[in-house]
Amino acid sequence: MKRKAEKQQAGAPLSAFAAFAARKARQQQVLEPAVPKEAPQAVAASEPPSKKRRRSLEVAETEPNGERRPRTRAAKKQDEPLPAEKTPEQPTRVTRSHKSEAQPEPENAPEESDVESEQEEVANADEMDEDEVASVVGDADGYESPAETPAELQNFPLSKARLSKNNIVYSDGNTLCVRIKERANLALIGHYDIWVKRGVVSLMGAKLHPSADVHRVYAPSTHSLPVIKCVSGIDGEAEVELKSCSSGIARLRDLSPLYQKIWAGQNTAADKITLKGAANDSKRTFSVLYTSSDDTLNRHLRPLHLDKKWSASMKALSQRQSKLRVLVCGPKASGKSTFSRYLLNHVLSAAPEVETGYTNTDGVAFLDLDPGQPEFAPMGQVYLARVRSPFFGPPFTHPSLDESRDGEMVRAHHIGATSPKEDPDHYAMAVMDLMDQYRSLLDKYPRCPLIINYPGWIFGQGLEVATWLVRTLGLSDMVYMSEKGPSEVVDPLALAAREARVPMTILPSQPTDFVSRSSAQLRAMQIQSYFHMTHPTDLSTPLWTDVPLSRTRPITVEYAGSRQGITGIMVMGSQINPDLLQETLEGAIVGIVAVESPSAITGEMARPAASNDSDMDLDSENPGLSDSIQVAASASIVRTREDLPYLFIGSGSCTPLDPRSSHCLGLALVRSINTSTHKLELSTPIPSSLLEKSIQEGHGLVLVRGQIDNPNWAISEEYYAARAAERRYQMSASRSRKTGDSANDSDPEHNRTLALLRERIRRASNVPWMTVVEDNSRHQREAAAREKSLWKLRKKAYPGSDSEPEW
């Protein structure tokens, strides 16, 4: 049938241009089925719009031949989401629907497979309700609002290799050993340990040679899947062993819905081939995928293949060996972090000396200047780390370093914000101090190269800082991650590079694609992982605990008196009256900063006139602090009504600590402030040995409250944990009833236990800043729509520019 617009113009004479456009459209319709599925343009054609638009002639107009007219810039502006800073903050809202369509996530770890099977049984038999978090407003960090997923996801190829009895060496319920031919690859989802037994394979930029080393790989659906590719091998084949692992990171789904349905689902067709002869309920923590349609959870999966120019650039940069000093910069969402991560793994690859004549024994210095998306630290920090081994996984799988194995955190500074534009001067001082630390590091490790990851703050003041860094850091190379300019950014960078005699490489940006988490959600996942990760001394890999922070034992610190352990409290980026300091701190994320000398606390912090009031008095004696720091602090600390030591000046703001005389130890969550005993309760993953060492060296500790995201995830942890506990008990009871090992529902003991669990849920839902909505109508539909939603990257070369695609 012809559309109405076509019928109206059927009798009208067509101009030459209109006839050509109609003929061109018909040719395209004929040629479309012949385009291969793996063609890049097919992916773009099948993607949904980034936002559901109204039907309006101002927004979109349709030509008679079905083509869409170009939309004006004004129309584009109307569709853009509001900036994050203009969006009013809303409390965490949890919707609890009576009958949800969402199914529980299949289990990942072998020891938890029984629990997951029980979840499926209860979901089908008893129609248990599920919990969903309310929608999150799109932020301005490179992501738009959720877009509707197509009804049928494209069958996207993931692996070139196919498993069969010819290339499967051995397999069981936990292990899979396969042979991969040269130039073939294998994509997996989940988390696993990989051991290269024969040949050479590439994985996330690293070339892994045969050795006794076992590497932990994390491949969640939140990011593009890493691909295991055979580079070379004996008789044209490489042999690798893949083994399930139990790290506990999958159990974080019981604390946050952001961690649900991101790991391996049920067994795929490839898994069933390799599990022949194993137990019927065998389930590994990883799954082999040939195409995206093999995923049992119907997620939007894509492999991560490097652009040829990226690979060539990494190879050229790695040939500089110990003389490498490279700065990676570019617009937002252009692939800076991905390129830096792959380059880091490539330089750290353990290659035999006979191949290159060079072995990296000093590690690689990684200078991360992006406080919004740091690689080895939680948000709000810039740092210098010396990394000794490759990392295979997104940042939330390694939010901190195990200094005994993976590397060491040389020095870190708390910026207190996710963007350096909040205080460019403090940011620049922190960068220069980190560079001084790197020069000192070279005295001990002279063959340690340097990789610098610069944030997407590349316009305005950010461009000035970037050009200043190029001129002053003594770089060997600079990489700019965008081939489409703009010239207002590229020309000043190129000029600075020429003046400093630094080669500048321009690479294509990362292809834009849909993702299942926004940048704000990824930051929440990373900081939640940071607070729940531990590094056991007897294990070579980290572990995660699913115990809510409210049920863990906090650290108690006195903030006043003879045993005072806190030098002062700062609030950066906001003007907070001393009377509101307690409300500002409770339930907030703070940075714990060690003050090394009196010069860190500037003398410009004069005592305000308000400090003469009866409810405040200057702290003149702090026996718990070192004498030198106390002298400097006594002139600037104001005591509030609760006796909190506030580093306060008359305008209500705080001067940042000097980076040359201070450093950040990590983050902490202020759980409560006991004004009667003058004690703070802090939850922090910082090792107690590190805190004790800092105190023994005479450093004072300052708590810095910045502008990083509020810990909404911590508020709802107990609620989700209580819901998970009830589900586990219900599943266990249902399974026992089927086997006849338990009494029926009229059992008093069963009813009493169930009542206690539901009382725990009720108490957990009655907390400040969180609302539990019980509705099975509108909220249920919203939850189902969010379950199918994806986030789409949005790139801009500069505000208002069309030089980069704005998706």
| Token pair listed for 786 | 């969010």
pLDDT tens digits for range 535-569: 988 888 899 999 999 999 999 999 988 888 888 99
Identify the H or E element spanning 29. Answer: helix 16-31
User: Own/partner pairs for 392-395, CB < 8 Å, 24+ apart?
Assistant: 392/194, 392/203, 392/204, 392/206, 392/215, 392/216, 392/217, 392/218, 392/226, 392/345, 393/191, 393/216, 393/217, 393/218, 393/219, 393/220, 394/218, 394/220, 394/222, 394/223, 394/522, 395/337, 395/522, 395/526
* Residues with Cβ within 8 Å of residue 708, at least 6 apart in sequence: 379, 380, 416, 417, 418, 589
Weakest-pLDDT range from 93-97, 430-434, 462-466 = 93-97
- CB of 50 closer than 8 Å to CB of 794: yes
CA distances 86 to 91, 137, 332, 399, Å, are 16, 11, 20, 29
Dihedral Cα 751, 753, 754, 758, nearest 10 deg: 130
Give the pLDDT confidence score for residue 654 in this predicted structure. Answer: 79
Query: How many Cβ atoms from other residues are within 10 Å of residue 564's Cβ?
Result: 22
Q: Is residue 530 a contact partner of residue 378, using CB atoms and an 8 Å limit? A: yes
Alpha helix segments (H runs only) across 69-146: 73-79, 113-125
The highest-confidence range among 64-68, 428-432, 735-739, by mean pLDDT, is 428-432
pLDDT at 53 over 60: no
Q: Model confidence over 714-761: pLDDT tens digits? A: 999 999 999 999 999 998 888 887 776 655 666 788 889 999 999 999
Name the residue among 159, 246, 243 with its Cα closest to residue 196.
243
Beta strands 504-506; 477-480: pairing state: parallel
With tokens 């996942």, the residue in question is 525
pLDDT at 793 over 50: yes
Residue 438, pLDDT score: 94
Does position 145 have pLDDT exceeding 50, yes or no? no
627, pLDDT greater than 70: no
Per-residue pLDDT band for 388 (boundaries 50, 70, 90) equals very high
Sorted by sequence, the CB contacts under 8 Å of residue 190 that are 6+ apart come out as 108, 219, 263, 264, 284, 285, 286, 287
pLDDT at 377: 94
**Residues paired with 143 in a beta bridge:** 793
In the predicted model, is pLDDT for residue 38 greater than 50? no
Q: What is the DSSP string of 501-557?
A: T--EEE-PPPPP-EESS-HHHHHHHHHHHHHHEE--TT-SS-EE--S-GGGSPPEEE
- Is the predicted pLDDT of residue 39 greater than 60, yes or no? no
What domains appear along the chain, each with residue ranges and CATH number?
4-79 (no CATH), 168-294 (2.60.120.1030), 308-529 (3.40.50.300), 546-710 (no CATH)
Average pLDDT for 611-631: 41
Q: Is the pLDDT of residue 289 over 70?
A: yes
Report CA-CA distances (Å) from 306 to 140, 227, 441, 508, 511.
Answer: 27, 10, 32, 11, 10
Rounded Cα gap, residues 309 and 315, in angstroms: 10
Amino acid at the residue 731: M
> Where are any strands of DSSP class E within 652-699?
662-674, 679-683
Choose the weakest-confidence range: 46-50, 163-167, 695-699.
46-50
Q: Is 278 in contact with 238 (CB distance < 8 Å)? A: no
Query: Following DSSP, what letter does each residue of 309-330 receive, concatenated?
Result: HHHHHHHHHHTTGGG-EEEEE-
pLDDT tens string 205-244 = 999 999 999 999 999 999 999 999 999 988 899 999 999 9
Gyration radius (Cα) of the chain, Å: 28
Under 8 Å between Cβ of 383 and 433: no
Highest mean pLDDT pick, 3-17, 525-539, 638-652? 525-539
Quote the percentage of the chain above a pLDDT of 90. 45
What amino acid occupies position 219?
A
- Comparing 721 with 794, the larger pLDDT belongs to 721
Given this model, what pLDDT does residue 351 score? 61
Task: Give the closest residue to 451 by CA, choosing from 393, 370, 378.
Answer: 370
pLDDT of residue 146: 53
pLDDT at 524 (0 to 100): 94
**pLDDT band at residue 364 using 50, 70 and 90 as cut-offs:** very high
Q: Which of 39-43, 282-286, 553-557, 747-751 has the lowest mean pLDDT?
A: 39-43
Check: CB of residue 524 under 8 Å from CB of residue 396: no
Question: Measuring CA to CA, how many Å separate 418 from each of 88, 401, 502, 645, 752?
Answer: 18, 20, 29, 26, 47
Dig out the tokens for 590 from the structure.
């703070």
Instruction: Give pLDDT, residue 207.
Output: 92
| Interatomic CA distance for residues 187 and 495, integer angstroms | 42
Report DSSP letters for 160-221, one per residue: S----TTTEEEE-SSEEEEEEETT-EEEEEEEEEEEEEESEEEETTEEEPSSS--EEEEE-T
Q: How would residue 257 be classed by pLDDT, with cut points 50, 70 and 90?
A: very high
pLDDT of residue 83: 41
User: How does residue 781 score in pLDDT terms, banded at 50, 70 and 90?
Assistant: low
Query: What are the φ/ψ torsions at residue 712 (nearest 5 degrees)?
Result: -60, -30
**Banded pLDDT at 304 (limits 50, 70, 90):** confident
Q: What is the mean pLDDT of residues 138-144?
A: 44
135 near 146, Cβ under 8 Å? yes
Least confident of 62-76, 530-544, 642-656, 764-778: 62-76
| Residue 759 vs residues 714, 725, 752, 754, 763: alpha-carbon distances, Å | 20, 12, 11, 9, 6
- The amino acid occupying position 41 is Q
Helix/strand/coil (H/E/C) assignment for every residue in 569-615: EEECCCCCCHHHHHHHHCCCEEEEEEECCHHHCCCCCCCCHHHHCCC
Give the pTM.
0.79
**Statement: residue 113 has pLDDT above 50:** no
Supply φ then ψ for residue 367, to 5 degrees: -100, 105
Nearest-angstrom CA–CA distance, 487 and 469: 19
pLDDT digits (tens, 9 = 90+) for 191-200: 999 999 999 9
Residue holding tokens 């993931």?
Answer: 158
Specify burial of residue 589 (Cβ count, 10 A radius: 0-12, 13-18, 19+): buried
Phi, psi dihedrals of residue 682, rounded to the nearest 5°: -120, 135
Report d(CA 504, CA 490) in Å as an integer: 10
Which has the closest alpha carbon to 560: 680, 665, 649, 695? Answer: 680
Q: 219 near 186, Cβ under 8 Å?
A: no
